[in-house]
Structure formats: structure tokens, C-alpha cells
Structure 1
Amino acid sequence: MTDRTLAGPTLDDFLAARERVSKVAHVTPMESSTYLSRVLGAPVYLKCENLQRTGSYKVRGAFNRLSVLSEEEKSHGVVAASAGNHAQGVALAARELGLKATIFMPVGVALPKLQATRDYGADVVLSGHSVEDALRAAKEFSDSTGAVFIPPYDHADVIAGQGTLGLEILDQVPDVDTIVMAIGGGGLIAGVASAVTQVRERQGRGIRIIGVQAANSAPYAVSMKLGAATAVVPTPTIADGIAVAKPGVLNFEIVKDVVDEVVTVSDDDTARAILTLLERAKQVVEPAGAVGVAAIMTEQVEPLGTTVVVLSGGNIDPLMMERVISRGLAASDRYLHFRVGLPDRPGQLARVSEIVSEANANVVEVLHTRHGRGLQISEVELELSIETRGPEHAEQVMERLVENGFKPVRVE
């Protein structure tokens, strides 16, 4: 038996949640990754929750919470606020249980997420221009109609549902030593970490849990250092699914006891991770779901035994995917952007293109202007975007240009 009492759900709560959640959630695949194993220096497995129903783990917590409502509560329906995964999870859970669901979403929500939520049968109300605006509207709706508000992470039943993912990990990789996953409000990591810790302590074994946040929105990283839930001011990040200002109250009580470390990754790191998952693992993963892989690729995870990385979601808008891939290519030095000044005479553009071609790089975009800042009357400026094979190849292209008398300057 465990020699300590954790806040939140007990192991029996997690086991009961697993029985309920199994009625709607898939047991998602666990895939080994040769590439990431080589990067880390230890075996790495990917828990593909991006292949879950609704495209993320969120359906687990939503279904568990809705399943334990009283008949009186169910008669009033449920309400939630979200810009994406939580909305879809609640909508599907409500449909499966025959409940009326109303979901408040911000006006600018991505169309695929809006349509998916409606397709699961929920009434969608567009309100405000942020998740916070939608959240206020949802709570007002709950107060006026009696609909039960379903929080995205800060509730014991939601945490218990998310923790069923941890029990699956132990089934699929019994010798796992480390689990790496994203942290937003904390529902996923609180559930998974608590569940696996309680199982392992009964077995007399330990386990290491590492949380990963976007650097632009990392309240847990600060809170863990200070020992108290602390708010931050989030700034924009591509990992909007985990962008929160403050940890959940119950979530932090659990996390501070069972999570060993919280690290942060930049948007460029995350973009590179998404590109790697596409190319190496053939997995489509949203930015919030890829931060664990980014932490491994940036060497922030120490190689201490078999490691499982949770790919928590795959709901990425195609337009966002296009931008993320471009950013990932640039961050990997496979998309080189530079400008170079040229004498304003015929043949200069052709000469630069010829040098790039001779270096086996591919020009994808060209801007030719006489109006750049600081240009002489007899000069023009050429701005090129080219595809390369990586950092060494990009450097070779730049060196060839310099050898031929040009002075290229990288553009970030």
C-alpha cells in the first residue's frame, strides 16, 4: 500500500473511472520511436492519444464527469466553454449519454473545431473573443438555466477520467521509467501522475513524471519553484491548447506532490517536433500535443530508462499546420531566408539563382526590390527563401554566395 495520501482521486476512483470511460474511449496505440530513442539515448514510446475519439484525451475526463451526474442534474443538461478539445470531448460524452450539451466558444474559433463540436450534437454559442469571455458566458448560462457546468481540468471526476490514460500506459509499457506530457491547466498530468504513482507505490517501485509547458505560458514552471499556485500573464503561443494563466487548484495540489520536474519549450522547438512527428512517426499532432517530443529534442529530459511521451491531441487546423511546417523547416535550417544586395544591372538575379542551384538548394520564393532601406541608387535588394537539407547545407549555400562576391544576410 502507498505510504502517503495524495489529494484528489484515489486509486479506486481511477479504476472505477476506467470502467466507465472504457464504454466510449479507445485504447490508443503505443508506438516505439527509433529516432527519438536515438536522440534521448534510451527507449522512447509514443502514446498516441492524438488518435483518440474527438482527437484528444479530453473525452476521458468529460465522459467520466458526465457519467456520475445525478438524474436531477442530467435533466438540466450540461454546459462548457472551450476553443477546441474540451468542447469536442463534452459534446461527444453528452451525445453518448443522451444529454443536452451547450458549448460556448469564442467568435474566432477555428472552423474545423467549431464544426466538429456541432457534429457531435452540441448547441454551440459563439460568445466573446477569448476563452475567458466564453467561460464567463457559460457560467452565466449555468446559473440561469441550471445546466451543470463541466470544467476543463479542475475537478476530481475530470482528473480521474484523464488518469485512465496513465493506467493504459502501465498496461502497454509495464517497465516504463519516465512519462513526459504537456501541462495546461493540469488535468491530464494530475490524473496520469497520480494514477501511475499510486499503482507503482503499491508495487514498491518508483516512476518519474516530467511536465512540459509552452515557454510563453508556463504558470506551473513558476508555481513549482515557488511552491504555490501562481498566475502568469500568457503571451501568444502556437500551443494554445495548453495556454493558461494559472494552475487549477486541485490540479496543483496533486502536481506538486507527484510531478518531478516541469520544463518549457519555445514555439520553434514545438514546430520542429511537429515536423519530426510527421516525417519520422507519421503522426499528425497539434502543438500542445507535441511539446513532450520538443522537450526530448531539446535535451531537457535526462535518459533514465524507458520513456513514454504522451501525444495528447491531434486537432490542428490545416492552415495552422501549413504555418507550423514552414516554421519547423526554418527552425531546422531546412528553410533558409536571406537577403543580399546586388548591383542594379542585368544578370545578377540569374547569377544568384545559379549559385543556389549549383549548391543543390531549391529556391521557393524571391522578392526583388529597389526600395530597400539603406540601398544606394545603383543597388537592388534580393530576398530569397530556399529549401536546404539542414544546417550544414544551409551554411554551404551561404559560403558559396560569399565566395562569389556576395554578402548574404540571414533573415529570422
Structure 2
Amino acid sequence: MNFAAQFFYYTYQSDGTPWTAGVSESEEYDPFWQRWDTAPPDPTEQHPPQCVLDTPAPLSPGVVDSVTHPQESLQCLVPNPPLPAFHSLVGLLLRLALSFILLFFCSEEQRIGGERKNSALLDGWGLKDGSVANGCLAHRATPIHPERLKDFGEEEYLDGDVRTWEAKVVVQPEPQLTSTPKHAIKRGGEMRAPPEPEAPPEAPPETPHETPPEAPPEHLRFEDISAAAFKIQSGLQKSPCTYSRLSKHYGMEIFLKKEHLHYTGSVKERGVLYILTSLKQEQQRKGVIVATDNNFSMAVSHHAADLRIPVFVIIPVGGSPARLRMYRDYGAMVISYGSTPHHSQNHARHLAKENDYLYLEEDDSAVYMAGLGTVGMEIYEQIPRLDAVILPTGGNCRLLAGAAAALKHIDPHISVIGVEPEDYPILLRSLKNDYPVKELYNSPNTKLYGDLVDPPLGGHAFQLAKKLVDKVISVREEDTLVAMLRFQEYERSTVDAEGAIGLAAISAGKLPELKGKRVSVVVSSANMELGLVRQCVERALVLDDQVVRFMVELGDLPGDMAKLLEILAREDIRLHSVSHRRHSDRFHLFKAQVECVVETWDKAQSSQLRNTLSEHYPSLCWLDR
């Protein structure tokens, strides 16, 4: 009690206010955190007698660990000092009570901070230079919860109270058990190991049940095709699938899926529209660029302009003026560059890299094939009780793969048949070799077949075709031209070789197993220049025996030419051209050679004309086609 009275009397003035020696008015003062080594008050002023607290010097971490009970001695310079006034004692008691209340009802963060400070002192961590007072460091604990320390990146924000260290657990390696050493037997100066006893034959271990490897994820799913059909329905009309008058000629119910009636005349609008609508808005704002003169580029030009996406088309110098005008009408910016398609493609990639355009080319991505596969869903919806679907293929195998993925998922009993040119049987060769062939050594008629031989065969499209397609056949060029002629005669429509190649397989008799069944033929394209259309029609008329050419020898007498024309008129034959040439040969001195080109209705009329002319003119020469 005497010690407490002397402590309070020394600490507080006679009026009950604490000493503020060594602390300015601008600093926060707390007597419980006051350092005991501060300067004593001015000796000129009247102060109570001073008590000296013997405090040991600052301890190092090693010394602090060994200290358990610090000893302190108090020496009073003036014995039995007088007690302060009554109001001073009341103030001291109130302040003491308030201090105990704050001690028990302080926040959790302050209690944890104080405990951490004391534990750091006892453990030897975080010691600072300065004297020790009442078993604590002179520096005040930081009132920050340890969980919040991660919000501070530097030590200076915590006044040096944070120490980081790494805890590394070192595990001693387990001792390896060695085999028992064998006793050596000395025989004839040699050290030999005794023979090991023969172990009984062990039963063969049971083969554990092996888990089959997981199948790789499918490149194209039916869910992707359904999503594509839903997304493109607002920008693309559903093409008709109508019954054809050719069904009676070939003994089967033929339904033509007229994809050539789209705005750009190609089925590729489906895949292109799904690609463009799947782009991010940032890429749509920057634009796209293409560098091929085919149906894919025309579809990109039209739908990109329709979606307000900037589109650029790079075409080699010397391209067809009609094609250039068509791209501009669709809304594309056309740039002529280079002398070959390879130069144009390199320039397009360079522009795309510099201006952040998206370079588009026809590939076997899942997005593109999902858009093309929507044609299979529409065919199944439009034709009930369908038996088979015939699609064009070749290097452009993506339409076949996408449609097969949709049809086989809906009804596995539907036969999917692919047809490719005989001059470019790349899919048949790939199926035979069991890997996609990139290029063939023979050179097909690229002007006629166009997209069927232009893009290389992709790996994903080949795997889908190998898994889902039932049959792949090839047709001759002559059969394709005749099929183009059949479209003009019976369907009143002009299609190109890609659009007519499916019907060519039927007209050539390559699919006899489809007799009496319901078959859908996909007419995929109708983009062909007028000059090429005229040449194809003329050639097809000759192949179909509707235009024939023959040569006969007539006499040099008046009226011989009139007799020939009378025979043609009697057979209801239309004459296209006549070529009359005289011979100087002595054996045909009075003879003339006449070559005629005539038009017939069909093969039957052509055969009848040939028989009639053979009766009147033994020298008839029926010229080959």
C-alpha cells in the first residue's frame, strides 16, 4: 500500500493532473506507456520526492529467453512523503477505475495485439532498441489484426512490427532395408556364394481390369448445329425442298433441296452467317477480310455488309469484271493485288495483321460446319420417311460432314452419300489411305468444278465423313454436264457443276440401290459465268445426242444438196450449220464433202436419223463427240 501511494504521489501533481515531462502538447500522452528513462522535472519547480526504479539494460533475444522473473528494486529518496489532497485521491481512484474498465472491455484487436507483443518479447522476436519497463518493450503495440497484415505491402506502414519468415519442414529419409549378406563358401581358394534355393512357381498374377481410355471430345455436336439453326434463322430464309419431275425418269422419288436459291446462290451462306454472328462486337467493329474468289467470299461480302461489318476482298489483277462488280454490289471493298491467288492471300494476311482485321478462309472449324449442318436438319423436317440424302463433296467435304452429323443424330437409318468428281477423287483416296490427302497429282478442271477442288481436305471433316458417311462415289465430267442440262430442261434453273453433281450420280446409274426410295439431292450452288454456261450447255447437248455432227459425200450435180435437206426436213431435224468442200483427188473428181451439224429431240430420234442417212449415203461418217 505504501508503494502504491508513493507511485501515485510521484506520478500525479497535487491537483490530480499527471506529469507530462518529456511530452509536448501536440503528442498523445498516456501514463501507462510512458518511458521510465525520460528526463526528470525541472528541479526549480516543486515536485514530490522522486523514486528511482532500477531497471536492467536492454536485453538481447538470448538473454530474454533465460529471464523468467525480472527483479526490480525501488529506492525512495524521501521517506514517508505526505499524501495528496482528498479531491486528488478521488480523481486518482476514478482514473484507476476507468483504466480497469478499458482494460476488460477493450476491442479484440487490441487484446490480440498486446498478446502478440508480449509473446514476441518472450520468444525473442521483434526486439527494438530501448529500455524495458514493467516487463514490456517501450514501443507501443500496433492495434492491427493479424489477418489484416496482408493488406500492407511494406514494413514501414506497421512501424517495423512485421517480420516474415518461411517455415521449412525437413524430413529425414527413411532408412533403406538392405538384403541380408550371403555367407561366402571358400572352395579351392575361390569365394563363391551358396546357390539360392529354387522358389516354387508362382501363379500368374491376375490381370487387373483395365479402364478403357476416354473417348476424345467430338469436334461437332448436334447441340452446336441446333444452336446454329436458331441463330441464323432471322438472317436466312429456309430453302424449299420440292418434288422433282425427274423422279419418273429414274424410278425414285427425288426431292431437290434448292440451296442455290439463297441471295448469293450458295449453301455456304449458312456457315458464313453463323461465323459472323458469333464474332465479338469489337471484332465486328474492326472488320473482316477475304482473299479468294469463290462462293465463300461472296457469302462473306453479303452478310458482313448486311450486319454492318466492314469487309474487304482481295482479288488478283485480271479477275473477271462481272465477279468484281458482284462483290461491290454485295457491299464489299474490292482490292486488286498480285498476279496469283497466292500473292493476294499473303497481302490479305498482311493487311489483317496491320489493321486488326479478321482474316477469314474456308476451313473445317466447328462453327463453320455447324452452320452448314443446319441443311440436314431442314431436310429431315421437310421430307417425311426419308431414305437417303445425296450431297456434293471433294475437297469441300465440310457440307457432307456437317449434314451427316445432323442426320445421323436424328435418324441413323438415313443413308448419307457423297459424290465427287472422277478427276479429283480426294475423299475416296483419303478413305483408302485412312488419312486426309492434301493434294492429288492429277489436275482437275478447276474452271468447271470451282469450289469442289479448291479448298484442301481438312482433318476434322475427314474424320466425321469417315465415321458417318455411308458411301462415296465419283462421276465423270460428261455425267455432270448432262445433269446440268437436266436442270435446265426439267427444273427451269441453271446450276453449276457443284450443284448438279448429286443428280449426276443418279443419271449415270451409279446408285441402283435407291430405286423406289425417297431421296433428297442437295443443290448447293448456282454461280457460273454466262460464257461458261453457254459452253457447258453446248457440250452437254452433244453428249446427250441432242446435237449431232455427220459427214457425207454428195455428187457435183445440181439437186444433190436439195435431196439431203429434204431428208432432214422429213425427219423433223433442225439444221444448225453446213460446210461444203470440194476435193481435188482424182478418185473423187466429181464429188463434194458436206459436213452438217443438226439438232434432234433425243437419242431415239438421233438413232433413227442415222439409220435413214445410212440407207441413202453409204459414205456416211458419224463424227465422234
Q: Which has the higher contact order (CA 8 A, sep 6+)?
A: 1
Deviations 1:309-363 (A, max 9, x none): 0011122222222222212211111111223344455444333322222222111
Give the C-alpha shift of residue 68 in structure 1.
1.3
Name 1:147's counterpart in structure 2: 357
CA-CA distance at 1:162 after TM superposition: 0.8
With over 3 angstroms needed to count, the CA separation of the structure-2 counterparts of 1:389 and 1:208, relative to structure 1, is same
Shift of 1:187: 2.0
- Where do 1:395-410 residues align within 5 Å? 395-405=607-617, 406-410=619-623
1:126 & 1:215 partners in 2: Cα distance? 34
My pick for the range that moved more, 154-163 or 347-356, is 347-356
- The partner residue of 1:234 within 443, 462, 467 is 443
Report if the CA contact (8 A) 1:272-1:294 is conserved: yes
**Does structure 1 residue 261 correspond to structure 2 residue 468?**
no
Structure 2 residue aligned with 1:198? 409
- Superposition TM-score, scaled by structure 2 size: 0.60
Correspondent of 2:548 among 336, 339, 347:
336
The whole-number CA distance in structure 2 between the counterparts of 1:375 and 1:168 is 70
For 1:52, the equivalent position in structure 2 comes to 262
The residue identity in structure 1 corresponding to 2:402 is: G
Tell me the TM-score normalized by structure 1.
Answer: 0.90
Considering only CA atoms, is the larger Rg found in Structure 1 or Structure 2?
2
> How far has the Cα of 1:84 moved from its partner?
3.0
Q: Distance in 2 between matches of 1:92 and 1:375?
A: 67
- Corresponding residue for residue 596 of structure 2: 384
**Which residue of 376, 382, 385 maps to 1:172?**
382
SS at match of 2:552: strand
Amino acid at match of 1:402: S
Secondary structure in 2 matching 1:15: helix
**Within 2, Cα distance between the matches of 1:217 and 1:53?**
29
Following superposition, the deviation at residue 377 of structure 1 comes to 6.2
Shift of 1:89: 0.4
The DSSP-based 3-state class of the residue aligned with 1:88 is helix
Matched, 1:11 2:222: yes
Where structure 1 has 5 or more consecutive residues not aligned to the other structure, the ranges are none
Q: Does 1:365 align with 2:577?
A: yes
C-alpha distance 402-209 of structure 1, shift in aligned 2 (>3 A): same
Separation in 2, partners of 1:156, 1:333:
45
Taking the aligned partners of 1:398 and 1:291, their CA distance within structure 2 comes to 31
Post-superposition offset of 1:160 = 0.9
Q: 1:195 to 1:106 in 2, by over 3 A?
A: farther
CA distance in structure 2 between the partners assigned to 1:375 and 1:110 by the alignment: 52
Cα pair distance change 1:343/1:90, threshold 3 Å: same
1:264 to partner: Cα distance: 1.6
* Gap change, CA 1:344 and 1:168, over 3 Å in 2: same
Deviates more, 1:371-380 or 1:354-363: 371-380
CA RMSD of aligned residues (A): 2.7
**Alignment partner, residue 35 of structure 2:** none
CA-to-aligned-CA distance 1:230-287 (integer Å, 9 cap, x gap): 1213321522231237312322121111112221222221121112112212222222
Equivalence for 1:318 = 530
Structure 1 residues 375 and 187 mapped into 2: Cα distance closer, same or farther (>3 Å)? farther
Q: For the structure 1 residues 159 and 175, does the alpha-carbon distance in structure 2 shift closer, same or farther, using more than 3 Å as the test? A: same
1:274 aligns with 2:484: yes
3-state DSSP class of the match of 1:54? coil
The structure 1 residue matched to 2:461, chosen from 251, 254, 262, is: 251
Quote the residue 1:327 is aligned against. 539
Match of 1:307 among 519, 526, 541: 519
Q: Report the structure, 1 or 2, having the larger helix content.
A: 1
TM alignment of 1:188-227, pairs within 5 A: 188-200=399-411, 205-227=412-434
The 5-angstrom pairing of residues 80-159 of structure 1 reads 80-107=290-317, 109-128=319-338, 131-132=341-342, 134-159=344-369
**2:242 corresponds to which residue?**
31
Q: Distance in 1 between matches of 2:303 and 2:582?
A: 59
Query: Which one of the candidate residues 287, 298, 309 is aligned to 1:77?
Result: 287
Query: Percent of aligned positions with the same letter in both sequences?
Result: 27
Q: By how many angstroms is 1:112 displaced?
A: 3.7
Distance in structure 2 (CA, Å) of the matches to 1:272 and 1:372: 41
How many angstroms does 1:226 deviate by?
2.1
Give the letter aligned to residue 181 of structure 1: L
- Mark the CA change 1:215 to 1:104 in structure 2 (over 3 Å): closer, same or farther: farther
1:361 to 1:51, Cα distance in 2 relative to 1, 3 A: same
Distance 2:587 2:401 in 1: 57
Contact 2:550-2:620 at 8 Å conserved across structures: no
Q: Superposition pairs for residues 179-190 of structure 1, below 5 Å?
A: 179-184=389-394, 185-190=396-401
After superposing the two structures, state which structure 1 stretch, 120-129 or 275-284, moved more. Answer: 120-129
Q: Which runs of 5+ in 2 are unaligned?
A: 1-214
Alpha-carbon distance in structure 2 between the residues aligned to 1:13 and 1:245? 23
Partners of 1:28 and 1:374 in 2: CA distance? 67
Name 2:495's counterpart in structure 1.
Answer: 285
Q: Which amino acid aligns with 2:426?
A: P
Amino acid at match of 1:124: V
Over residues 153-192 of structure 1, what are the superposed CA-to-partner deviations in whole Å (9 max), with x where a residue is unaligned? 4222111111111111111113212110111421211211
Q: How many residues align?
A: 405
Contact 1:77/1:100, CA 8 A, preserved across alignment: yes
Query: Which ranges of 4 or more aligned residues in structure 1 deviate by more than 6 Å?
Result: 371-375
User: Equivalent residue of 1:151, what SS?
Assistant: coil
Q: What is the identity, as a one-letter code, of the residue corresponding to 2:432?
A: K
2:302 and 2:525 map into 1 onto residues whose CA distance is 16
